A and B are shown apart, each in its own frame.
Chain A
């Protein structure tokens, strides 16, 4: 029986989805999934639409190692004792940020024949790549050695020198039901409240969203896959989207009328610590052609389909991660109203 361990920070893409995809992967025989977390949040979540019996079946098969990964001795002993075949490390920077020696310890018990898959958080991916006038970002592009998010980059180079068999997946913005990062949720809140969508500057900035299920599929496809060995893959949607376009796509997904969009100049406002807009104010998109060619991976969802899936299984049921906060909106609206009158 192959044993997988998932190193899991509290904030995460819906890990249940990833774990269940791992256990359902067609190539896999028998996989025991162990989730290694600090235990702050429940490790499994019932997926919307999932039957109670299926969920309890899955839940019973997932083992939970509860300890802080900063506890290096525990990590070392448990990882080596258990003899895991595969380590899924979601968010490699946290390991490095703590202690590079610790990082090394963590790698040691992972045997050479073990596969080490890293999911790079989308925000770090952005910082890793150079800001560029030439796009999309591709895997071969130069990365910025001066980035403060050195963690992710060093993880990759550490893996390269460690001799461990590794794969790195780079998503852009992840979305889908149970999304921990209020991306589409931010737009849905506005649409539900019947409010205009305030978008920074021109609204033609281009971003890219990838459905979490497609990401999970990629996780499974790299498992035991020689073609994935020591390779980096961008994993996201096949088409990119403008900010304005995303507002319209969310409206379509939720069956709302075409939204009113208000563009504003962020320099004219002081929002304090509040984030008035959930996306980086620049073009940010990556080519997924390598994963398509090399792995034969292909996203199942196009954007409107994926947003509809997210809406139907999550937001429309009254569930969301972050309360609606329109305080920055009101600042923007008051100013434009003042200008008009």
Chain B
């Protein structure tokens, strides 16, 4: 053990250099009664109240970081967007947020404008993009140059491809046409399952996952790139059911069958948080460059917890029933919309590097989601629950008729 260091001045103990970090009194109070986990780490933060943010807005004035959003400059952004699935809504929010911040946006949706897929949200709300000054086009990403009619862009976000075949043409075209920054929506699903949650950036991924090949290729071709790995999302305009799966059962007074113990952790973010992280990357390209970001909420929720929160949002009781899918011969992937295991990533890189803060507050956000659920009449829509019935039959659980 080292000997005590001697010194002539005991006051050394109590002086600190003037702190460049904001003083503790600026530590933001939670806006809601439930955890937000926001704490001082950086300069730029976004209020969740609306989707259009002036680029210079920030909540804290003092900061040890000198980056300013206003210095980012106006960008021309192309979003290559999938035409279905859980990630479709990302492009919608991102487009609107960029437009609100004064950037130029084109969104290229895969397929045909006239296809049936375009009748579903968020596509049936694309007027919100065009009325804000954005351009909407349709086509095959393999022909992206033609589809955008020779336009050039500063930034491209590929929110479509899951493997190299579908993304490579976009990457190659972007490089050759002078795009400076390439962003890619990957997936937190590529992390190798672990006993030690959470998944953090840098953890081992499944080598054979399609997204992994894409991530590698982008990093080889571009010098300014960023990868985003999301999990599940809620938000108006979602193309895929999330909370609705719980509401459907709760409003009809049906038991909610959850595989396993119900204690599995998952991560459900409001899509506005996903969008704000992407926007930060566009506005802080140097900081974002060459980084992987878990594009998720900063809190986990258990599967049982999600059922309970949905019920609370609906103001109704809930009966949760657990089952072992293997024991009763059920494919849990078909029966239940979330992974039957701990699946929880944390957005540490975004907080550390971009100064991003999450605003997702499930108890509050689900109330808003339930209001819309009722508004569109889904609570009275006739529905069949064939797989549920199979499960409940096997468990001999009675269902209200």
Question: Residues of A at under 8 Å CB distance from B?
Answer: 1-2, 20, 23-24, 27-31, 50, 54-55, 57-58, 61, 85, 113, 132-136, 138-142, 201-202, 204-206, 223-227, 229-231, 238-242, 244-246, 248-249, 283, 287, 289-290, 293-294, 303
1/0 per residue, CB under 8 A from A, across B44-64: the answer is 000000000000000000000
Which single member of A85, A138, A238, A283 contacts B35 (CB below 8 Å)? A138
CA distance A204 to B193 in the complex (A): 13
Which single member of B33, B39, B41 contacts A139 (CB below 8 Å)? B39
CA distance A319 to B6 in the complex (A): 36
Closest to B35 in A: A141
CA distance A57 to B1 in the complex (A): 8
Which single member of A1, A225, A248 contacts B16 (CB below 8 Å)? A225
CA distance A239 to B194 in the complex (A): 11
CB distance from B237 to the nearest CB of A (A): 24
Indicate if the CB atoms of A133 and B39 lie closer than 8 Å: no
Which single member of A29, A61, A139, A204 contacts B264 (CB below 8 Å)? A204
Cross-chain pairs A/B with CB under 8 angstroms, 11 sampled:
A29-B9, A85-B14, A134-B305, A226-B19, A227-B16, A229-B24, A231-B27, A239-B197, A289-B351, A293-B40, A294-B21
Q: A224-B16, A225-B16 are in contact. Are A58 and B10 (CB under 8 A)?
A: no
Indicate if the CB atoms of B299 and A134 lie closer than 8 Å: yes
CB distance from B304 to the nearest CB of A (A): 7
- Chain B interface residue count, CB cutoff 8 Å, equals 55
Closest to A282 in B: B263
Indicate if the CB atoms of B196 and A202 lie closer than 8 Å: no
Which single member of A20, A29, A139 contacts B10 (CB below 8 Å)? A29
17 more contacts with CB within 8 A, not counting A29-B12, A133-B304, A202-B260, are A23-B1, A29-B5, A29-B9, A30-B7, A57-B1, A133-B302, A134-B300, A134-B362, A140-B30, A140-B39, A201-B261, A227-B16, A239-B198, A240-B196, A242-B196, A242-B342, A287-B346
Q: A239-B196, A239-B197 are in contact. Are A133 and B13 (CB under 8 A)?
A: no
Complex contacts, A303 vs chain B, CB 8 Å: 196
User: Is B37 in contact with chain A by the CB < 8 A criterion?
Assistant: yes
Complex contacts, A54 vs chain B, CB 8 Å: 1
Closest to B299 in A: A134
Which single member of B1, B21, B37 contacts A20 (CB below 8 Å)? B1
CA distance A159 to B36 in the complex (A): 25
Give the 3 A-B residue pairs with the shortest CB-CB distance, closest first. A133-B305, A245-B195, A29-B7
CA distance A303 to B197 in the complex (A): 12
Closest to A243 in B: B195
Complex contacts, B19 vs chain A, CB 8 Å: 226-227
CA distance A293 to B65 in the complex (A): 13
Complex contacts, A242 vs chain B, CB 8 Å: 195-197, 342
Closest to B303 in A: A133
CB distance from A108 to the nearest CB of B (A): 20
Indicate the member of A223, A248, A283 with the most B CB atoms within 10 Å.
A283
Indicate if the CB atoms of A61 and B13 lie closer than 8 Å: no
User: Is B308 in contact with chain A by the CB < 8 A criterion?
Assistant: yes
Complex contacts, A287 vs chain B, CB 8 Å: 37, 298, 346
Which single member of A2, A204, A248 contacts B263 (CB below 8 Å)? A204
Closest to A54 in B: B1
Complex contacts, B302 vs chain A, CB 8 Å: 133, 135, 283
CB distance from A130 to the nearest CB of B (A): 10
CA distance A206 to B197 in the complex (A): 8
Closest to A33 in B: B4
Indicate if the CB atoms of B40 and A294 lie closer than 8 Å: yes
Complex contacts, A50 vs chain B, CB 8 Å: 1
Indicate if the CB atoms of A135 and B300 lie closer than 8 Å: yes
CA distance A295 to B252 in the complex (A): 50
Complex contacts, B308 vs chain A, CB 8 Å: 133
CA distance A132 to B305 in the complex (A): 8
Which single member of B15, B41, B342 contacts A293 (CB below 8 Å)? B41
Indicate if the CB atoms of A113 and B14 lie closer than 8 Å: yes
Indicate if the CB atoms of B4 and A2 lie closer than 8 Å: no
Which single member of A30, A225, A238, A240 contacts B5 (CB below 8 Å)? A30
Complex contacts, B306 vs chain A, CB 8 Å: 133
CA distance A248 to B362 in the complex (A): 34
